[in-house]
Amino acid sequence: MASSIKEIFSKDNFSKNKKLVLLSATVALLLVTAIAGITVGASKANENGKRTLTPSSHAVLTSACISTRYPELCISTVATSGGVELTSQKDVIEASLNLTKTVVEHNYFTVKKLIKKRKGLTPREKTALHDCLETNDETLDELHEAVEDLHLYPNKKSLREHAGDLKTLISSAITNQETCLDGFSHDGADKKVRKALFKGQMHVEHMCSNALAMIKNMTDTDITNFELKAKFTSNNRKLKEETTVAVDMASVGDLDADGWPTWLSAGDRRLLQGSTVEADATVAADGSGTFTTVAAAVAAAPENSNKRYVIHIKAGVYRENVDVAKKKKNIMFMGDGRTTTIITASRNAVDGWPTFSSATVAVVGERFLARDITFQNTAGPSKEQAVALRVGSDFSAFYQCDMLAYQDTLYVHSNRQFFVNCLIVGTVDFIFGNAAVVLQDCDIHARRPGPGQKNMVTAQGRTDPNQNTGIVIQNCRIGATSDLLSVKSSFPTYLGRPWKEYSHTVIMQSDISDVIRPEGWFEWSGTFALNTLTYREYANTGAGAGTGDRVKWKDFKVITDAAEAEPYTAGQFIGGGGWLASTGFPFSLGL
């Protein structure tokens, strides 16, 4: 069976057979039942006559699974799949990922069945279930891409590039499971639907967690060995280049002689070098362009394009919700100015929208760029979660953009992201999510919230300690809007709180005004995550930057050594040296 799974998900067959694979529900259900019912150490032949693992394969499996958070699941899942020969940790990871894909298929059909057959679903529940279809579909693509990357490992790309890509893919897959379940957190009926999904989603999350732990163990070991070898191989140019660069676990590839990424097309390079950008489509509310809505322009853009597709959005107010789906790659939104080109809507939790679907603009297609635009949600402080911009696009960047809302303004959902010279305004948890994201030279302003509310600048959502995710705020200005300044003593404002168990946030080299309380940080609920979070501050200035009265949590720390802060720079944390130059936006790779 292992060989047939690999064949189905091969590079050539996956895209054209994806729908057929997803329709094979019976096969998926049988495999998932087999996986779920097994115990640790099952190495003998099962009732279906599958071949058992050889003693050597079982030894490799057991050794690989030691590094995982759920070792019993890791061993039992692969040991009972039958018919695989395991000679390395890489083999174990690939087998685990292929089996995980099968469970994702099962979850996908569970969601479809609920949509079709469950009676009495509210509009919110139906929307949340469709969000689950989207996140499960994205997970399937991410797992497939990870397997393809493993096939190439370690020779096609640098070790750091492989490590960064693999960890990002699986980190995003884990986040997607949480996102599905988060859509059912509002009332009693939601919780019943959540219960129907919980076991399957968590099964995938735990399997992905195991794969991520093994990937980290494998790549960390290989990089360490590579660097030790490099010290004694001074005449090898590539080795010298790799060792002179600081360890960059999220690197995204080689640069040519002029400092441009090697994957960047000649056309895109000319586009970025030019003083003006030529648009492929123009949106104008007054009818003077090729489209009158942004959504229509996105719908007409090519799918899976390797070439930058520029959509010029003329000055105007565009009252619509826009979805840049995963197949809409290399899209660029170019506005006429952050105060004149405005995309606005008002979806919100109180009116029945899950947080994920409340976004005015949602971006998933990779390598998305935007500049000189405002993304806005006008729902207001009484409407609870109401997202202005949600981003799940890998290698995405935003320049001179405004994100304006109240609770949950900017949803940095997943993958690698960069924001520079932007304005983010909000109240509760107004920069949140589980991307690997760096914000540089941004103005981050708390505003007056609703009665009894507290302002939280961040709410980072890392759920696994091995995820390469977190929020880094560097060289920014954290302050308040005028409506909050006069009443700031009535509405406490904090740098953040831990949304998920391994919440990871760093504020460094930024100006922090006295709108931030001396404690700096706030708990989510009692002692939840206070012993597992990672919160850091480094070299901040301003009236609110003093750390003498900061919280005394176990994993809050003030960094005093530049070397300890270096991993949080754009060059290392999001591998910016390999892709930020291609955006044409300003950036800093170091401290």
* Catalytic site positions: 429
Residue type for position 221: T
The CB density around residue 274, as the number of other CB atoms within 10 Å, is 10
Q: Which residue has the tokens 């044409």?
A: 584
Q: Which residue has the tokens 């002179």?
A: 244
Distances 73 to 27, 66, 375 between C-alpha atoms, Å: 21, 11, 43
Coil, strand or helix at 324: strand
DSSP secondary structure string for all residues of 502-549? T-EEEEES-EE-TTB-TT-B--SSTTTTTTT-EEEEES-BSTT---TT
Nearest one of 334, 335, 357, 333 to 346, comparing CA atoms: 357
**Are 69 and 210 within 8 A, CB to CB?**
yes
Please count the residues of the chain: 591
**Are 206 and 107 within 8 A, CB to CB?**
no
How far is Cα 195 from Cα 184, in angstroms, rounded to an integer? 9
Residue type for position 381: P
Q: List strands edge to edge, sheet with 316-319.
A: 316-319, 341-345, 374-377, 402-404, 423-426, 443-446, 477-480, 511-512
Interhelix angle 71-79/55-65, nearest 10 degrees: 150
Coil, strand or helix at 372: coil
